[in-house]
A and B are shown apart, each in its own frame.
Chain A
Amino acid sequence: MAHTERRDAPGLPDFSLLKRLARDQLIFLLEQLPGKKDLFIDADLMSPLDRIANVTILKQHEVDKLYKVELKPIVSSSDQLCFLIRPRIQTVKWISDLVNSDKVAGRFRRYKIIFTPQKFYACETVLEEQGVYGDVTTDEWNFYILPLDDDILSLELPEFFRDNFLEGDQRWVTTAGSALHLLQSVYGSFSKVYGIGRCAKMVYESWRELMEEGEQRTRQPEFAKVFLIDRDVDFVTPLCSQVVYEGLVDDIFRIKCGSVEFGPDVTSSDKSIKVMLNSQDKVFDEIRNEHFSNVFGFLSQKAKNLQTAYDKRRGMDIQQMKAFVADELKGLKQEHRLLSLHIGASESMMKKKTKQDFQELLKTEHSLLEGFEIRECITHIEEHINRQVSMIDSLRLLCLLSITENGLLSKDYKSLKAQYLQSYGIEHLLTFANLRQLGLLEEQQAGETLTVMESKVGKLVTDKTVGKLTDAFSSLAKKSNFRALSKRLALVPKSGEEYDLRVPRDMAYVFSGAYIPLSCKLIEQVMERDGWTGLEEVARMLNGQEFAVTARNKTDAQRIVLVMFLGGCTYSEISALQFLGKERGCRFIVVTTAITNSARLLEIRAARNVAAIDK
C-alpha cells in the first residue's frame, strides 16, 4: 500500500464469529424440519447464503435440491418444501398460491418458511388472507450481518434505500437496530453514539429500546464510537463516478456480495472467472484503495518483482529447488494468477475509461461540483441524452446538477425531462416522479407560494427589506444546500493547484482531488470535535436531526469507530474512511445496509420492465 499504516493503529475484532452464529442458527432451523426437503432461496439471498453455509453443509442437513425463487410454478417432487426468503409480500403471496394449488391438486406437503432477518406482520397477514396460515410453519433466521471483509459489514438489504427513503416504509428500522444490538452483544458496548438523519435517529431509538430490554453484559468493548448516517444526508457522493480501483471495479463489473465475475475480455480466455475481492487477495488488498491512475504502475512493478522471484530458481541446486517448490512456488503461482487477473481488469477498464466520453463526463461532474460553467454542463448533459449514451449516466448527471444547483430551473427541467423521455420512453415519467420524491431531481419552485407571501409582506415594508426577505425565503425553500455546505466544509479543493494522486493529501483523492466526500468529511469533523458543537449550521443545512449520546459505561477508548450507512455506501467512501483512519491512527469499520453506487441508486427507482405488446 502506498501509505504506510500508523503503527499504533488498533487491531480489528474478529467478525467471522458472526458468520458462525448465523450458520449455527440456520442449521438449527433446518433441523426443525427433519427428513429430506427441497430448499427455495430468494435470488438475492443466494450469494450471502453461500458465504455462510455452502451447498455441502446444506446437503449435510438433508437439503435435497436447491431452487431459486422465481415466482413461477415449481417443479418439485419433494414432500417437504422449505423457503428461505426475505420478508416480502410478493414472495409470501407466491408461496400461498403454491400451497393453495397443491391443496386443489390434493397433494399433501409440509411447508416451512424461514424469514430472514425477521418476519413481518404484513407477511403473516398475507398468509392469513390467503387461507394458508395453518398449513405453513414460519421461523426467523436472525441473519442480520454478513461480514464482507475484515472491516466491511453488510446487512445485504438493497431495498432498505427504496423502502425507507422513497416509500416511507420504515420496516427496516428495527432490523438495523437489531443488527447494532447484535454487534453490541457480541463485541461489547459503545461509549459514544453520533448520528445524523431521521432514519439514523429512529434506528438509534430502536436499538436503545433493545438495550434496555435485554440484560447488560459487561464485556470489554471492542468499539469506541458509532456514527449513524442516513444516505439522504449525502446524495452527491454516490452520484459521482468512482475512480478508486475497487469503486471502479464495482461501477464496471458490479461487485456482488464481495465477489466479482470477470468476463472473457478480462481473463483473456473464453471463460468467466469469479473472484472474491477482499483482504485475502494480497494483490487486490494493496490496490483497492488506490486512485486508478496509480494502479497500472503498481501492477507492473509487482509483475517485475514476481519475475525476480521466479528467476531465483535459476542457479539453484537441487536442494534449494526442492525448498522453493515446496514453500514459495504455490504462493507465487497464486499471486501470479491474481496479478494477471487484475492486470486484465485494469486493461479492460482503461479501455473504457480513457475514452473521450468518460473524460468529458468526469469534466462535467467536476464542473458541477465546483459550480463552474453550469450552462456548458447543461449543454453537455443534453447532448448526452440526445445521443443516448447511457440511460443511467444521463440520469446521474441530471441528479447531480439538481442537487448541486438546488434544483433545476423550470425551463431546463421541462426541456431535459422531455428529451430524456424521448430517448428512453414515457415510463420514465415514474422515474422522474420517484426522483422528485427523493429530492434527487427537482424543479426549482422559486415560485408561487413564496411570491405570494413576499408580495403580502412587501406591502408592509420598504423595498430594501423586501430584498432581504426574498433571500431569506429562497434559502428556506432550498432543501439541498450543497453549495453552502461545500464552502463551509471545504469539500472542493481550490482549483488550479496540482494534486499529486500518488501521495494523497486528503480524502479528495478518491475523486481525483476534485471533491471530498461529504459523508466522510462530516464524520471526520464530528469525530474531531467529539460532537456537533461548531457544526450546528452545517447540521441545519442538512435538515438537522443530528444527535450525540454518551453511554453510561465509559470505557478506555479503543480507537475503533463503527460507521453505519443507512441506505448504502460506496466503495469510494470506504476508501476515504480507510485513508482518514490511517491519518488519524484509528480504524473505521463500515456497516452498511448494502454496498451501493450510482447505478444501483438510480436503477431501483427506474421503472421496472415493460411488458411486450401482444400482437
Chain B
Amino acid sequence: MSLKPLDVHFKVHLDLKKIELYEMGWNLKDGLRECLVAAAPYGGPISLLKGHNRRSPSARPQLEIYSSSGLPLASFPWKSGVVKQLGWTVSDDLLCVQEDGTVLVYDLLGGFKRHFSMGNEVSQSQVLETKIFHSPYGTGVAILTGALRFTLATNIDDIKLRRLPEVPGLQGAPSCWAVLTQDRQSKVLLANGSHLFILDNTACTPVTPPGLSPQASSIVHMCDSFSYKYLALLTDSGHVWMGTSNLKEKLSEVDTKIKTPPKQMAWCRRPKSQQPSAVVMWDGLLIVVGECKETIQYHLDDDSILVPELDGVRIISGTHHELLQEVPGACEEIFKIASMAPGALLLEAHKEYEKESQKADEYLREIKEQSLLSEAVRQCVEAAGHEHEPETQKTLLRAASFGKCFLSNFPPEQFVSMCRDLRVLNAVRDYTVGIPLTHTQFKQMTVQVLIDRLVYRKLYPLAIEICRYLKTPEYQGVSRVLKHWACYKVQQKEESDEVIAKAVSVKLADAAGISYSEIATKAYESGRTELAIKLLEFEPRSGEQVPLLLKIKKSPLALSKAIESGDTDLVYTVVMYLKNELNRGDFFMMLRNQPVALSLYKQFCKHQEQDTLKDLFNQDDDHEELGNLYVKASYKEQRLEARIALLQSAVDEYYKAKNEFSAKTTEDEMRLLRFQRELEEKKGELLVGFSLHDTMTTLLSVGLHKQAEQLYKDFRVPDKRFWWLKLKSLAEKEDWEELEKFGKSKKSPIGYLPFVEVCIKHHNKYEAKKYVSKVTPEQKVKAHLAVGDMEGAAEAAIERRNESEISTVLSRCSATTDHLLMERLNRAKATAVKK
C-alpha cells in the first residue's frame, strides 16, 4: 500500500490519529504562555488576552481574535475591568467575564454587542472562578463568587439568574468543579477534597462515584463530554475515573502515574463509539487514557490548549493546530495493514485498474463473490468523508465510483452528496477561511448554520458560492446572504447614501424574497434615515414599508404609501397610529389631505366615536354633512322634544351650508311634528312620526277633513296629491255622496279617470259610471272599458277614429256576445287604417 495513514497508532483497544490542521499564521512571541485563551467549538475562532493579570493602568492588555488557522480577525486594547475568563457562545460571540461579574459580549470581529451583569451578589463578593458552558438550551455562564456561592445563567440570550444553595462545610474554593446538564437542568458538580456534591436549584446532595479507587484523597480535575453524557474525574493519586455523568455507572479507571495536577482534561470520543477515552494535558505532556490500563503519550513542545469537539479534541499550540481523534471505523477497515475488508479490496482493485493490471478483476471478483461490493463502495465513500487530505479523498471516491460501475440499482445519493459536502468542507478548511470542520461536525451543524457563520465572518462571496453550489433554495440561501451583505453595507459610514442605495439595488435586483425593509431598518438603526427612505423605495410590498416609515417619523409618507397599497388594513394601522401620536388638529389636517384615509376614519367613527365625526365635519366646515348627521340622530331619538331640538340644529347647519331647500324641509318637519303632537293630544290619533302624506291619509280616514285641509294649505301640498288622497280615502270609506260632492267642488286636477278607476276598485260600477262622462276624450275609451261598457267604449273609439284604441276594444270583446259590435269595430278600423 502506498497510501500511508497519518500517525495511526495501533494500540490494543484504542486507535487514535492526530491530524495536523494548520500551521498557525499568527506570530506570538511567547506562545500561549500567560494568556487567557478561548477557542470556539466547531472550528470556531480563537481569542487571546495577553497579560490580563497586570493591573497597572498604563499597560492595557490586548485582546486579539484569530481564525482557527491563526489569521487575525480583530485586535484591540482592553479598556474595561479585569477579565477572569474568556469564552465563546454557540453562535460565535465572545464572552468576557469580568471580576465584578459583568459579562461583555463581542462579535467575532471585535464589535461590541452588549453587556449584562450576573447580579448584585456577584459584583459585591467578586468572581472567584467562572466557567462558560454549553447545553441544549444555549450558552451559559456559571460563577463561583468570593463568598463561595454559585450563580448560574443557563442561557445568556434569555438571562435568568439562579443562585444555588450553599455547600455545607466548604471552607475555601473547591478543588474542582464543573457544570453538568442533567434532567433538563444545569447542575454544578463540585469536589471538596474527596467529597463530591451535586448542586441543583434546591439542594446540595453528596454523591459518590461507583468504584472510585480509595487511594484518592482529593479530586483535582473533572470534565464532562461534548454530549453531556459522560464524566471524567482525575484524583490526586493520578487515577482517571471515567463514567456516566449521572455517576451511576463506571466505565473504566486508569492510572496515569502522574500525581501533579494537570493543566486541562477533555473527552476525546466520537458519537456512538463504545470506547471511552479522555485526554489529560500537563506541561509538555499529553496522555490519552482509554478502557485498558495502557495509555498513549505524546510530547508537547509548546504551551497548548485543548478544545473538545463533537468527534475529537483539537490541540492548539503557539505554532500548530492539530486534531486528535479516534480513527473512524471505515478508515480503520480500509487502511489497516493487510486488511481484507471489502473497502480495502476495492481500493486495491481500483489501484490495479489504474495500472491497467488484470489483478483489478481478481480483487473485484473477490468482493463480488462475497456480494459485498455495495458495502465496499459505502465504506470508501464514508472513509473519504473522514479524510482531510483532498488527494486521499479523491482516491477513495474514485475507488467508490469504480466499484459503482459494477453495481446496478446502487442509489447514487450518498456518493453525490459526499462529493458535494467534501467540496464545501475543503473550501471552508482552506487556510484563508480557517474553519476546520470534520464531516461529522458539518452534518451536525447543518449547511444553514455554516452559511450563517460565513456570513458572520463577512465571507459573503464564499457563502453565496456555497449556496449556489448546494442549490439551497434562494429564500434560505443566496437571498439571505445578500440581505446580510446589504445590512452590513448600509453601515459603512464612509460611503454616500446614493452610492450605497445604488450598490444594494444592483446586487439585489433579481434575488427572490429580499426584504428591503429589513435592510432599511438596519440603515435607520445606524442613523441613516435618508438612506433608509431611499432603500424603502425598492420595497415592492407596501405592507413592509409602512411600519418602518412610521418608526422614522415619516408619517405623511407612510400614510400615502399605505393608501397607495390599496390595503385598508394598512391605512387603518397608520391612521390609528397617527391618532395617538399627533394632536387632534394636526391629525385632522393630515386626514384632510388624504380622502381615502379620511373616509376610512369616518367609517370607524360612525360606530366608535360619533362625536369625533362631528368634529371632523366641523373642521371641514361641512355643514351639509353636519345637518345630515343631526337629521340621522333625530330619528334615532325617541323623545319628541329631543328630536325637534336635533332637527333645529340640523336647520342651523343647513342654513350655514346655504342649502335653503333642506333647511325649509326640515323646518316643515318640525312644524309637522308639533302639529301631529297637538292633534294626537286632542284627538287621540296616533300621528307622530308619520310623513305628511300618511298624516293626511290618517286624518281623512278618521274624518278630520278640516285638519287635513289645514295641512294641505299650510304645507303647500300640490293639488294633485290632495285630490288623490281625498279620492282614495273617500272611496275607502265608501262615502260616495261626499265623493260626488268633492268631484263637483271644482275641476279635478287629476282628471276624472282616477274617479272611475277608484270606484271600480271598490266594486261600485254605479258610482263609476257617474264620472265616465266627465273624462277627457283621450281617456274615454279607457273609462268605458273600466266600467265594462263595451258599447260605450266602441262608440268612443270609433268617434275618435283611433286605430289602436279600436284594437284595444276589439281585444276585450268576446266573440260570442259582442258579435255585432265587433263587426262595427272592424269596419271602423278598416276606415281608420285607410285614412
B600 to chain A, nearest CB (A): 6
Stretch with Cβ within 8 A of B (4 or more), from A248-256, A334-342, A415-423, A570-578: A415-423
- Given the interface pairs A425-B691, A429-B666, the reply to whether A121 lies near B569 with Cβ below 8 Å is yes
Pair B568/A171 contact, Cβ less than 8 Å: yes
Stretch of B29-37, B130-138, B523-531, B632-640 on the interface side = B632-640
Complex CA gap A613/B688 in Å reads 7
Given A386-B720, A422-B693, answer yes or no on A169-B566 (Cβ-Cβ < 8 Å). no
Cβ contacts under 8 Å, B10 to chain A: none
B721: interface (CB < 8 Å): yes
**Closest A residue, CB atoms, query B693:** A423
Stretch at the interface among A202-210, A318-326, A520-528, A582-590: A202-210
Interface membership of B724, Cβ < 8 A: yes
Tell me, yes or no, whether A212 is within 8 Å of chain B by CB: yes
Within 8 A of B (CB), among A405-427: 414, 417-419, 421-427
Judged by a CB distance under 8 angstroms, whether A78 is at the interface is: no
Which residues from chain B contact A121 at a C-beta distance below 8 Å? 568-570, 572-573, 576
A226, CB-defined interface residue at 8 Å: no
> Which residue from chain B places its CB closest to the CB of A415 in the assembled complex?
B718
Tell yes or no: A167 within 8 A of B by CB: yes
Residues from chain A with Cβ under 8 Å of B567 in the complex = 174, 206
CB distance from B628 to the nearest CB of A (A): 5
Q: Is A603 interfacial (CB 8 A cutoff)?
A: no
Q: Which residue of A lies closest to B574 (CB)?
A: A121
Whether A429 touches B662, Cβ cut-off 8 Å, given contacts A93-B607, A120-B572, A382-B720, is: yes
Given contacts A125-B572, A417-B661, contact A424 B603 (CB under 8 A): no
Q: Which residues of B contact A472 (CB under 8 A)?
A: none
**By the criterion CB–CB under 8 Å, are B566 and A613 in contact?**
no
Count of B interface residues, CB-CB < 8 Å: 52
A88 shortest CB reach to chain B, Å: 8
Which residues between 203 and 245 of chain A lie within 8 Å of chain B, taking CB atoms? 205-206, 209, 212-213
B residues in contact with A388, CB < 8 Å: 693
For residue A352, give the distance in angstroms from its CB to the closest CB of chain B. Answer: 15
- A418/B665 in contact, CB under 8 A: yes
Cβ-neighbour of B595 out of A168, A173, A213, A426 (below 8 A): A168
CB of B20 closer than 8 Å to a CB of A:
no
Which residues of B, 280-300, contact A by the 8 Å Cβ criterion? none
Indicate whether A57 reaches chain B with its CB closer than 8 angstroms.
Answer: no
Bound: A288/B146 CA distance, A: 94
Query: In the docked arrangement, what's the CA distance between A424 and B691, Å?
Result: 5
Which chain A residues border B665 with CB–CB below 8 Å? Answer: 418, 421, 426, 429
CB distance from A417 to the nearest CB of B (A): 7
Q: Flag if A125 contacts B576 (CB, 8 Å).
A: yes
Whether the pair B691, A613 counts as a contact (CB closer than 8 A) is: no
Is there contact, CB below 8 Å, between B628 and A429?
yes
Give B661's nearest chain A residue, CB to CB: A414
A392 CB to closest chain B CB (Å) equals 15
Interface status of B540 (Cβ within 8 A of chain A) = yes
Residues of A with C-beta under 8 A to B717: 422
Inter-chain residue pair count (beta carbon < 8 A): 135
Q: Assess the A387–B724 pair: CB atoms within 8 A.
A: yes
Interface centre among B566, B631, B668, B757 (most CB of A within 10 A): B566
Q: Decide yes or no whether B608 CB sits under 8 A from chain A.
A: yes
Q: Chain A binding site: helix, strand, loop or mixed by DSSP? A: helix
Which of the segments A19-27, A262-270, A461-469, A604-612 contacts the partner chain?
Answer: A604-612
- Residue from the list B566, B635, B637 in contact with A173, Cβ < 8 A: B566
User: Which residue of B has the minimal Cβ distance to A417?
Assistant: B661
A90 nearest CB neighbor, chain B only: B607
Q: Cβ of A272 < 8 Å from any Cβ of B? A: no
What is the chain B residue whose CB lies nearest that of A383? B720
Task: Tell me which residues across on chain A come within 8 A of B568, comparing CB atoms.
Answer: 120-122, 169-171, 173-174
Most B CB within 10 A of own CB, among A174, A386, A388, A427: A386
Asked if B715 CB lies within 8 Å of chain A CBs, one says: yes
Checking A93, A173, A419, A612 against B638 with a beta-carbon cut-off of 8 angstroms, the contacting residue is A612
B596 close to A168 (CB less than 8 A): yes
Q: B572 near A423 (CB under 8 angstroms)?
A: no
Write the chain A residue with the least CB distance to B570: A121
* Segment 521-558 of B: residues with Cβ below 8 Å from A: 540-541
Q: Is B766 an interface residue (CB 8 A)?
A: no
CB of A126 closer than 8 Å to a CB of B: yes
The reply to whether the CB of A275 lies closer than 8 angstroms to some CB of chain B is no
Hey, which chain B residues are within 8 Å of A427, CB to CB? 631-632, 635
Asked whether A122 and B572 contact (CB < 8 A) given A202-B566, A387-B724, A613-B639, the answer is yes
Task: Report B711-737 CB contacts with A as 1/0, cut-off 8 Å.
Answer: 000010110110010001000000000
Q: Does B624 contact A (CB under 8 A)?
A: yes
Asked whether, in the complex, the Cβ of B635 is within 8 Å of the Cβ of A607, the reply is: yes
Q: Point out the residues of chain B lying under 8 angstroms from A613, CB to CB.
A: 638-640, 643, 688-689
A128 vs chain B, min Cβ distance (A): 9
A489 contacts the other chain (CB 8 A): no
Q: What 3 pairs between A and B have smallest CB-CB spacing?
A: A168-B599, A425-B691, A171-B568
14 interchain pairs, CB-CB under 8 A: A89-B604, A93-B608, A168-B599, A170-B596, A170-B600, A173-B566, A206-B566, A212-B540, A382-B718, A419-B721, A422-B693, A425-B694, A611-B637, A613-B638
15 further A-B contacts with Cβ under 8 Å, apart from A122-B604, A209-B541, A423-B691, are A120-B569, A121-B573, A122-B568, A122-B600, A168-B596, A382-B718, A383-B720, A383-B724, A386-B721, A386-B724, A387-B724, A426-B669, A426-B691, A427-B632, A611-B636
